[in-house]
Amino acid sequence: MKRIGSILLIAALVLSLTACSGSQKEFTSNLPPETGELGDDIRIDASNHIQIKKADVVSVDEREILLITYDWYFEGKNARAGFEQYVITAKQGGVALKGDLSQVESIKKLVTQIQAEERLEDIQQGFVLRDREPVTLSLMGNESWIFKEGKPVHAYPVTVEVPIAP
């Protein structure tokens, strides 16, 4: 009796192993582009799109501020999402620029939550310029890992070059 039970158990294990080896799951995720252009609808991760519509230089108290205006489209599965979904930073000559919200028309838009499949338009962020060199914006979604060729890799920001007119 024990021998028959052992044989049945071994047969069940062999069948379960052959059922699992039939097909290998391929892991995929959204691969954001490495670079984007002003005006492009840039998918920065699986749920978030950013479209930088314009970049203006504003002079305030002997400082110059790069004021970017953009739209955010959220196509995630969560019912609501907010500012934690993405981050926009700026560098000039490889040095991070300090944020400045003094010229932003509606700071409330920076913390507004939206529903899935909704777009929030004309969000603004400002960065204090160091000089008249081009600015590199980095757009990063909230995913830490993405799958590239079936292997997990650290997510990377999409960069957008913004020329600063003389």
What average pLDDT score do residues 86-97 get?
96
Give CA angle at 84 (83, 88), nearest 5°: 70
Q: Are 52 and 150 in contact (CB under 8 A)?
A: no
Q: Using alpha carbons, list the distances in angstroms from residue 61 to 65, 97, 98, 102.
A: 10, 17, 16, 11
Is residue 103 a contact partner of residue 62, using CB atoms and an 8 Å limit? no
Domains annotated on the chain, with CATH: 35-162 (2.60.40.1240)
Residue 161 or residue 6, greater confidence = 161
Q: What is the mean pLDDT of the chain?
A: 85
Q: What is the mean pLDDT of residues 116-128?
A: 95
Average pLDDT over residues 87-93: 96
Cβ pair 143, 29 in contact under 8 A: yes
Q: What six digits make up the tokens of 2?
A: 């024990």
Tens of pLDDT, residues 9-45 = 565 665 555 555 555 555 555 789 999 999 999 999 8
Q: Is the pLDDT of residue 97 over 80?
A: yes
Task: Give the pLDDT score at 155.
Answer: 86
The token pair at 160 is 């957008």
Q: Is the pLDDT of residue 103 over 90?
A: yes
